[in-house]
Amino acid sequence: MSAEPRTLKTEAELALAEQYRGARAILPGSAAVARKRDEAFATFERLGLPHRRVEAWKYTDLRALMRVAVPVADPPNPVAVTAALTDADALAGIDRYRLIVADGHFQESQSDRQALLAEGVEVATLAEFLGFDHPSVLDILATPPGAGEDAIIALNAALATDGVVLIVPPGTIVSKPIEIVHVSTTTGATSSYSRSAVQVGAGASARLVVTRTGPLGIGYQANSVLGLSVGAGGRATVVDIAADGDRSQHLASFSARVAEGATLDHLALRAGAGLSRLQGYFSLEGEGAGLTASGANMLDAKAHGDVLLLIEHAAPATTSRLLYRNVAKDDAVGAFEGRILVRPVAQKTDGRMMVNTLLLSDSAEFAAKPELEIYADDVQCGHGATTGQIDETAVFYLQSRGVPRKEAEALLLKAFLAEPLAGVGDPALAAAVEPLVDAWLAGAPE
């Protein structure tokens, strides 16, 4: 029964402390940044790896799941990067700007930095940005308020090597989607820490694709953080795709602040990783801000996939729509924790959260915790959660029309997973990511 703060450190925690001590001197940034990193690491040391008694990590006990902390990756070989990029370009058909972060290091030669600069978008690498003498530099290493004290985000702040910082000036409409590519190229098990920030100015509009891929069969570890802000009347679309290797562990944190009258469409697709955690903190800070958050979490084999989302309504007349679909088969274990938080000022909030899960095998497991936390009275909030199997009556309906059972099930499954894709305001982008769902459905038969 006791929840004593423990003093014992796991093997992984000890290795992380060792890695931080080793990397400290060569991590990018000014002296102020170095102090900030020390603070962040002290927070991590105090908290240790999250475990099931930490409510936000109840369904993902990292102390048990992350037995080892593999060494931090060295800057990659450019040939390997090129090879990895051609192998894993899921969105090959789409015309977009690409910014490549390989093994936690920005790859200038393979990135479209100049073209973006020409569109008026300011681009810096995280390493460059941390060297600037400006107070906002430290903000990039801060933990989003909604996350409270999170050991994994603190660890990232301590160890982040690189990433991209994008500023879309007010009124700028970026013509093509911008893809931030995270790729692991190493043949041995290594870890990488990337941190990026995107600022979409007032009245500006940008579409952002964040992808993560890595090799099969290698126990690499990735910890990524992305912070986004959308200025008044701005519009942003984020498609976050993680198709990691089967033995990888991927911990992703995301935060977004949406100002007055601005909108954000956020879509997350998860497939492949041995262990994946997505934690997102959305804050609707300006009156009339709107959010659509949707996702598909596809789990198979022995995968463990956990999504935690906080949607904070901090201003009047804000709207949020959340739809997440999960499919778990084989021995996969999944979890979804969602919370709509309505602050006292946020009268006229309209919030909806829906999470549906299909379990396709007897040994698959899923836990859901959809929360409402409401401090204003003139609101409409609701959530729904279902867990079950493919609807037999729907299968029967299709069979009675001559569709064989297998196909009927596949059709229903596809329809189930495709629905969240429609949440992305950009139909072309939605269509482009659909093959990823198809690939998972085809590649992971029951």
Q: Which residues are at the interface with another protein (CB under 8 A)?
A: 1-3, 55, 344, 347, 357, 359-389
Report the alpha-carbon distance of residue 208 to residue 403 in Å, rounded: 39
Beta bridge partners of 164: 125
What's the closest the beta carbon of residue 413 comes to another protein, in angstroms? Answer: 14
Given the structure tokens 């802000």, which residue do they identify?
229
What's the closest the beta carbon of residue 301 comes to another protein, in angstroms? Answer: 16
| Residue 322 or 381 with smaller CB distance to another protein | 381
Three-state DSSP class for residue 224: strand
Round the CA-based radius of gyration of the chain to a whole number and report it: 21
Three-state DSSP class for residue 121: coil
What's the closest the beta carbon of residue 222 comes to another protein, in angstroms? Answer: 28
| Residue 218 or 376 with smaller CB distance to another protein | 376
| Residue 344 or 427 with smaller CB distance to another protein | 344
Helix then strand count (H, E) for the chain reads 11, 19
Four-point Cα dihedral 73, 50, 158, 108, nearest 10: 40
Beta strands 350-359 and 380-388, pairing class? parallel
Q: How far, in whole angstroms, is CA 344 from its chain's centroid?
A: 28
Angle at 263 between CA 385 and CA 239, to 5 degrees: 65
| Residue 147 or 333 with smaller CB distance to another protein | 333
What's the closest the beta carbon of residue 314 comes to another protein, in angstroms? Answer: 15
CB 269 within 8 A of CB 433: yes
| Residue 86 or 393 with smaller CB distance to another protein | 393
Report the alpha-carbon distance of residue 388 to residue 413 in Å, rounded: 13
Nearest to 332 by CA among 366, 300, 357, 368: 300
In this structure, what DSSP letter does residue 316 have? T
What's the closest the beta carbon of residue 287 comes to another protein, in angstroms? Answer: 17
| Residue 122 or 378 with smaller CB distance to another protein | 378
Angle at 329 between CA 325 and CA 330, to 5 degrees: 160
- What angle, rounded to 10 degrees, do the helices at 151-159 and 31-47 form? 150
CB 370 within 8 A of CB 338: yes
| Residue 27 or 358 with smaller CB distance to another protein | 358
Nearest to 152 by CA among 50, 52, 227, 17: 50
What's the closest the beta carbon of residue 1 comes to another protein, in angstroms? Answer: 6
| Residue 385 or 411 with smaller CB distance to another protein | 385
| Residue 241 or 335 with smaller CB distance to another protein | 335
Nearest to 295 by CA among 323, 334, 336: 323
What's the closest the beta carbon of residue 194 comes to another protein, in angstroms? Answer: 33
What's the closest the beta carbon of residue 4 comes to another protein, in angstroms? Answer: 9
What's the closest the beta carbon of residue 298 comes to another protein, in angstroms? Answer: 16
